[in-house]
Amino acid sequence: SQAGLVNNLNDGMSWGIFPLFFASFGLGIERIGILKAVYPTAWGILQVATGPLSDRWGRKGLIAGGMWVQALGLFLTALTRDFGWWLMGSLLLGLGTAMVYPGLIAAVSDASHPTWRARSLSVYRFWRDLGYAIGALSAGIIADRYGLSSAIISVAVLTFISGVIVAICMRETSMRGEG
């Protein structure tokens, strides 16, 4: 649930902060639109492959690794000032999200007995979806106080830490992932 919250926190932050961040460097609406479209496009296309991979390789590695790939994309975005690097950051954010998103819900399902699976998925989705609001609000507060780059870096650090927590604390849930 914490990884789901942080994953969606990235998304909430990106919708509010990225357009302002890119505009602050003189990017026009068309180029901002391209950068914002690359992330969900990469995520949507690549999760078609990463979902089945989590069935074969296991959930934990893809979730932790995906969080770190997201963090790398966010750091790259915050610390560079070039459209090409921002495009790479958006691609990495999409790849990382594709690694995380299908595996998280599958892990919750794997760990839930059929008699209480619906309840456990609803609890997970509550915390996951709360991440959108927390991401937008916290990033906005940080940006107002310390600047747009600081908001992105803060979310990148949190995302990296979330991946560490998954790597240390999560038990592999996929039976195929244990082999």
Q: 20 pLDDT exceeds 60?
A: yes
Q: Is 25 helix (H, G, I), strand (E, B) or coil?
A: coil
Structural tokens at position 44? 């949507």
Give the pair of three-digit tokens for residue 52. Answer: 């089945």
171 burial type by CB count under 10 A (0-12 exposed, 13-18 middle, 19+ buried): exposed
* Phi, then psi, of 112 in degrees rounded to 5: -110, 130
Query: Could you say which DSSP state residue 112 is in?
Result: S
Closest-CA residue to 77 (of 139, 5, 129, 4)? 139
Residue type at 40? P
Phi-psi group of 79: left, alpha or beta (phi > 0 → left; psi -120 to 50 → alpha; rest → beta): alpha
In the predicted model, is pLDDT for residue 174 greater than 80?
no
User: Which tokens belong to 16?
Assistant: 């509010």
pLDDT of residue 163: 98
pLDDT in tens, 80-119: 999 999 999 999 999 999 999 999 999 999 988 999 999 9
The answer, as to whether pTM is greater than 0.85, is yes
DSSP 167: H
